[in-house]
Structure 1
Amino acid sequence: MAGKLYIGRRFREVRESKMLTQAAFAERLGISLSYLNQIENNQRPVSASVLVLLAEKFQVDLSSLSLNDSDKVISMLAESLADPIFASYTPSIQELKLVVQNAPGFAQALLNAHQAYRRNSEQLASLDGQIANLAGEPTAYEEVRDFFHLVDNYVHELDTAAEALADRLNIPDSNATTALISYLESKHGVQIRHSGPNETSLRQFDRASRTLFLSQYLPTPTRTFQIALQIAALEQEDRIDQIADRATFRSVDARNVCAAGLRNYFAGALVLPYQRFLQSAQELRHDLELLATRFGASLEQVAHRLSTLQRQGSKGVPVFFARLDRAGNITKRHSAAKLQFARYGAACPLWNAHQAFEAPSQIIRQLAETPDGIRFLCIATELSKGRGGFGSPRPRYAIALGCEVSYAKDFVYADGLDLTSKGTYDPIGISCRICERTNCSQRAIPPLKSRLRIDRDRRDILPYQLPG
């Protein structure tokens, strides 16, 4: 752990997990309150002596104090700085590390500025007549997406609260649906009834009558999740408000979207309690279907939960998770692995997530390699949602999950695949706009910052050549 460490969020997480004020925490560590405040705000690095005290007094594994947040911001900065507007400047990784570690506020400001530039450019290009509304603010969903990305898609306060309740209700050994219905009635006096035949909502809570109306056509995993979501709304609002307030979102909309996401997080953690789920994932070698059966959950719920197993001292395999619609839009995303999703533009067409729509309900495996030489095991499957009869809409989407190939042995999906031969790995990228591959027949647009050669006497698959 050589060099200066700016790990303010990690310090704050430890303090909050012990439910200590800054003053009490500083006293336990034998440091001044002002120094602790500067550490938590990344204004000063953490000294080796303070790290030792942290390990001794709070049983913190020093190896867990990695710079994962910095790595993510470095990746985001590198992609933003690949934009042609920065054509005269190509920073080294070392330069990016220095900026992120020593001036994290400046790094975030640069990312925000580039996001605003991209949005304004796209709006101007579309000539949509809304030039007067070009505020340059990130959308609520973009803000919330970045919030969950930077906390590793793991919210300790909610996760541990959900796990404690799951233990009380003996989930998953008892039937989760039955246990949650009984708890909702005994603890909160809430009855569950079927919605009317013409009601389109999945869930509707009548506060006056203390009645939760659920669609009678919901699959059991969805029904269970919606009940857990109602428990989150009844019990966790104070905790959710505190977490959302600490995030200091720019708009009320972003804060409300985040609060909804945090309720969903609690519901998922209640149905799939952390330690039991982690142990089952290891035992079943991440078999999505077996995990779904054991916990009475859907494949999407299981895959999403695998991406949240980031508890300090008890982490799961670092995976990436995404959900895509048929147009290739990524509607959910998170990566604890080195594969990062493009913030702008479409995903690589060679990624097996797109192929899932060609083989409904089948699990498709892929060994893939990114331009930087990192290899991945990728898993994808197509799912559909529908809660009505004949003629009702049935949205189709694909979920994708994967890990770096060094973890492949922990997944049943690696069985029978040749992990050692380079020829078995498909060359994929993040997106065409930043992919450096020069010989890809599926390329949609040229990479940024690349000069194009047009030969009027020659035509290959692409109408231009890229420098090799």
Structure 2
Amino acid sequence: MPAPIGTKLRQQRKLRGLLQADLARAAGISPSYLNLIENDKRQVGGALLLRIASELGIEVEELSGEKEQRLLDELSELLSDPVIGGVKVEPGQLHDLVAQLPTVAQALHRLYRGYVDASASVETFANRLKSDPLLSRLLHQILSHVTAVRSSGEIIRSVPDLSRLQQHRFLDTIDREARSLSDLARALIAYFDQSVRTRPALSPVREVDDLIIGENNYFPRLEDAAASLRAEIEAAGDFGEATLTQLLAQRFAVQVQVAFAAHAGHEGLSQDFGFNAEERVVWFQRTTSMATRQFQLTRLLAELTHGELIDEHVHDRRLTTASAQRIAYRALASYVAGATVFPYSRFLGDAQTHQYDIDRLRQAYAASFEQVAHRLVTLRRPNEQGIPFGFLRADPAGRLTKHFPLPGLQLANTGHACPLWVIYAAAHSPGQILRQVVQFPDGARYLFLGRATPRGLASYHAQPFHSSVMLACDLLHADRMVYGQGLKLDDPALDVPVGPTCRLCIRRECEYRQEEALDVFGERPNLRLPLVPRDFPAPDPDPAGADS
């Protein structure tokens, strides 16, 4: 759509009190031609536009229409937005709006840009809610409490013959639900207020989380690639370190070295293994476990044989930065390796046969606890699913370093979780699987399994290090697992009362609380108070003593 140069030219001519004939004669054109230009029926530019601008005593930019053209383009974008669907605007009307009411057109443009920015902010918060199960769960809890209050109120109002005792019970329910609702709302409001002030846009790790969560941690094409790779390995020999080493040497001229020290020139984060692409050498410390060697050799083979397929998954619109794509590539390569070490149907059958006994599965597949736990989380194939598990991993400082959420369960994705969770107790009993039945403030009950694994020390000077891994599932599935045996699952009084994190937990009287709950209403804190209240009244002087 051409910019309304003619309309603007006519406005400038009239402002100066010039007739069409006078301006046409001065510019060296006929009055009829100038009339066509002013009605935007003829284009004007070049030397003629310069002469007209000179006669009007203005800069040529005032008549070029560049600003108007940009405004027309922006308003055309506005009209194409789905929110304007059904509103028909003829091109000529838009042209007239820019020409005759430019300030109104600019106001519409600014409103539209504000709408676009607001929509982007809403989308950012929506992504936050989708990728942060804590916030989503809080909203569901609020809705649940509102429903309970409303239901109890309707019963009191609509049932006239309730006894006094029944009325008191319903009033107690309303009071309890209202208190919980108030605490949840305060925690949610404070969390968002804090996030707006301190949180930047989604981090690369969060983008990768969004990708994995969006796919329910199940990637069919990668599963197919893993099945193909497993068949290729087994065609060369028994699945294991020896056959993997042989295939890497035959197909890619890659050698495997096991040594006492890190390979020369190694700059990776892990000191236990690495790959030198220039020398075509994959190396391991001698202290590296067989399970780690088998898994990492499988991952290397997966990247060499199916790198293009992994790349296709990495070039996803949800991954907006090179860092996010790099992190996702590593994660998806590990996914292919896990699916290769643990073939889907065979592994699911073994897990069900052995009631998800992770130690038995570790032995059957020469794998580690964490590798088995990872694979259990990915058993989400439609019509062939295992028990739905959530997954957490923590470092020695208790900081969460990896998580896979479980719908309905408030799993923190960063920072620290509730200090009562078994993932922290497991650190004090390395190598032992601990179990725990927990109950959240909303009454939801889960079975938690935790185990800490120390890393092998390569030398006397190496620092001891362990990571703790936790699996979580709804308590309804506990009877399908060996870990549910001997537990009194029908007695909620024996559950460990927990929350998601101290900051988002509404258990005000929890004696294990490490941080104050988020609160924006100025309630009196109940953590680390002085022994003597600051408003403690001084004793009145003894009147008798004053008179003596």
TM class by shorter chain equals 0.5 to 0.7
1:288 and 2:358 are equivalent in the alignment = yes
1:437 and 2:507 are equivalent in the alignment = yes
1:360 and 2:425 are equivalent in the alignment = no
Change (3 A) 1:438 1:210: closer
Structure 1 residue 139: Cα displacement: 2.3
Deviations 1:146-183 (A, max 9, x none): 32222222222112211232234349x93421222222
Gaps of 5+ in 1: 1-42, 44-69, 84-89, 96-113, 124-135
Change (3 A) 1:412 1:72: farther
2:227 to 150, 163, 169: 163
Structure 1 residue 303: Cα displacement: 0.9
2:281 to 204, 211, 228: 211
1:419 and 2:493 are equivalent in the alignment = no
Whether the 8 Å CA contact 1:320–1:401 is kept in 2: the answer is yes
Structure 1 residue 460: Cα displacement: 11
1:153 to 207, 213, 217: 217
Q: Which residue of 2 aligns with 1:184?
A: 248
Structure 1 residue 406: Cα displacement: 0.6
- Measured on the aligned residues, the alpha-carbon RMSD in Å equals 3.7
Counterpart-to-counterpart distance in 2, 1:115 and 1:271: 41
Gaps of 5+ in 2: 1-82, 84-125, 147-189, 535-548
Whether the 8 Å CA contact 2:133–2:407 is kept in 1: the answer is no
Which residue identity lines up with residue 489 of structure 2 in the other structure? L
> How many residue pairs are counted as aligned between the two chains?
357
Counterpart-to-counterpart distance in 1, 2:261 and 2:504: 49
Whether the 8 Å CA contact 1:369–1:425 is kept in 2: the answer is yes
SS at structure 2 position matched to 1:321: strand
Which residue identity lines up with residue 144 of structure 1 in the other structure? V
Counterpart-to-counterpart distance in 2, 1:310 and 1:276: 14
Counterpart-to-counterpart distance in 1, 2:142 and 2:524: 29
Change (3 A) 1:447 1:119: closer
Whether the 8 Å CA contact 1:342–1:430 is kept in 2: the answer is yes
SS at structure 2 position matched to 1:153: coil
Change (3 A) 1:209 1:389: closer
Q: Which residue of 2 aligns with 1:46?
A: none
Change (3 A) 1:245 1:349: same
SS at structure 2 position matched to 1:246: coil
Whether the 8 Å CA contact 2:226–2:336 is kept in 1: the answer is yes
Change (3 A) 1:353 1:377: same
Q: Which structure carries more helix by proportion?
A: 2
Structure 1 residue 410: Cα displacement: 1.5
Q: Which residue of 1 aligns with 2:186?
A: none
Structure 1 residue 262: Cα displacement: 1.1
Change (3 A) 1:74 1:196: closer
Which residue identity lines up with residue 400 of structure 1 in the other structure? M
Which residue identity lines up with residue 146 of structure 1 in the other structure? D
After the TM superposition, which residues 181-330 of structure 1 pair with which residues of structure 2 at under 5 Å, given as runs? 181-195=245-259, 197-199=261-263, 201-330=271-400
Counterpart-to-counterpart distance in 1, 2:227 and 2:362: 18
Counterpart-to-counterpart distance in 2, 1:243 and 1:375: 36
Structure 1 residue 187: Cα displacement: 2.9
Counterpart-to-counterpart distance in 1, 2:130 and 2:280: 48
SS at structure 2 position matched to 1:167: helix
1:139 and 2:206 are equivalent in the alignment = no
Counterpart-to-counterpart distance in 1, 2:358 and 2:497: 25
Structure 1 residue 385: Cα displacement: 1.0
After the TM superposition, which residues 324-363 of structure 1 pair with which residues of structure 2 at under 5 Å, given as runs? 324-343=394-413, 345-363=415-433
SS at structure 2 position matched to 1:433: helix
1:377 to 447, 458, 462: 447
SS at structure 1 position matched to 2:384: coil
Structure 1 residue 218: Cα displacement: 1.5
Structure 1 residue 300: Cα displacement: 0.9
Whether the 8 Å CA contact 2:230–2:341 is kept in 1: the answer is yes
Whether the 8 Å CA contact 1:152–1:336 is kept in 2: the answer is no
Counterpart-to-counterpart distance in 2, 1:72 and 1:294: 40
Whether the 8 Å CA contact 1:286–1:412 is kept in 2: the answer is yes
SS at structure 2 position matched to 1:443: coil
SS at structure 2 position matched to 1:361: coil
Whether the 8 Å CA contact 1:143–1:254 is kept in 2: the answer is yes
Change (3 A) 1:294 1:73: same
Deviations 1:242-280 (A, max 9, x none): 111124422111111111111111112111221111111
Which residue identity lines up with residue 484 of structure 2 in the other structure? A
Whether the 8 Å CA contact 1:433–1:445 is kept in 2: the answer is yes
1:76 and 2:132 are equivalent in the alignment = yes
Which residue identity lines up with residue 222 of structure 2 in the other structure? L
Counterpart-to-counterpart distance in 1, 2:450 and 2:275: 35
Counterpart-to-counterpart distance in 2, 1:397 and 1:280: 26
Counterpart-to-counterpart distance in 2, 1:184 and 1:118: 51
Structure 1 residue 241: Cα displacement: 1.2
Whether the 8 Å CA contact 1:337–1:404 is kept in 2: the answer is no
Whether the 8 Å CA contact 2:422–2:449 is kept in 1: the answer is yes
The normalised TM-score by structure 2 is 0.58
The normalised TM-score by structure 1 is 0.67
Structure 1 residue 454: Cα displacement: 3.7
Structure 1 residue 81: Cα displacement: 11
